[in-house]
Amino acid sequence: MDLKNFNWTRFPESFTLLTEGIEVVTKPHTDLWQNTYYHFQNDNAPVFQMETEEKYFSFIVKTEFSESHHRFDQCGIVLYLDSENWLKGSIEYENDSYQHLGSVVTNNGYSDWATTEIEASIHSMWYRLSRREDDYRIECSVDGENFQQMRICHLINGNGKVRFGIYACSPEDSSFKAVFTKMQLTDCQWPAHEGQQPDK
């Protein structure tokens, strides 16, 4: 992918363009979250995205985060429309024993968080974000070949032009380096639904 098509919404501490990707160093006290349960609003994480009006596509990226070491350090895939409407998929460091592999979807200013615990020894993950009009699917993979579904979701304001890409942040007093490579934009890898039909 040509990273010249990408733009920053807020800059990280620093970044370096690589031959096949980008290296990002996070700023402390940066995050994305809106309201739900915690009742605070954080909207200062840097996101690096491109725009499209294409209704059907898949975006793939490999993340590496061996330097992640502090609670909530995270990096992954993002589709950020504005402060109140976005989704992300990532791994959040928790402690020396485990991390949270999960996703957040935010509609009209309220976030949810779906997670599963994985070993803290995992320092790399692939993600695939697929769009079918205003519905989206996030998947993950440890090898870039075999993807597993993390979630299907709907974005209320996600039916027009969208921006998507990568993000990295450190919600607490920390900073780390995240590396994003193998970025691809492909035809939609999420097949049309052929199962149960809607009730009539």
pLDDT tens, residue by residue, 42-98: 999 999 999 999 999 999 999 999 999 999 999 999 999 999 999 999 999 999 999
Give CA–CA dist 119/94, Å, rounded. 10
pLDDT tens, residue by residue, 83-137: 999 999 999 999 999 999 999 999 999 999 999 999 999 999 999 999 999 999 9
pTM here is 0.95
The full set of domains in the chain, from first to last, is: 3-187 (2.60.120.200)
Residue 110: half-sphere exposure toward Cβ, Cα within 13 Å: 3
Give CA–CA dist 154/53, Å, rounded. 17
Beta strands in the chain, from DSSP E residues, in sequence order: 7-9, 14-18, 21-25, 32-34, 41-43, 47-52, 56-64, 74-82, 85-93, 98-107, 110-111, 114-119, 124-132, 135-141, 148-154, 162-169, 177-186
pLDDT surpasses 80 at 199: no
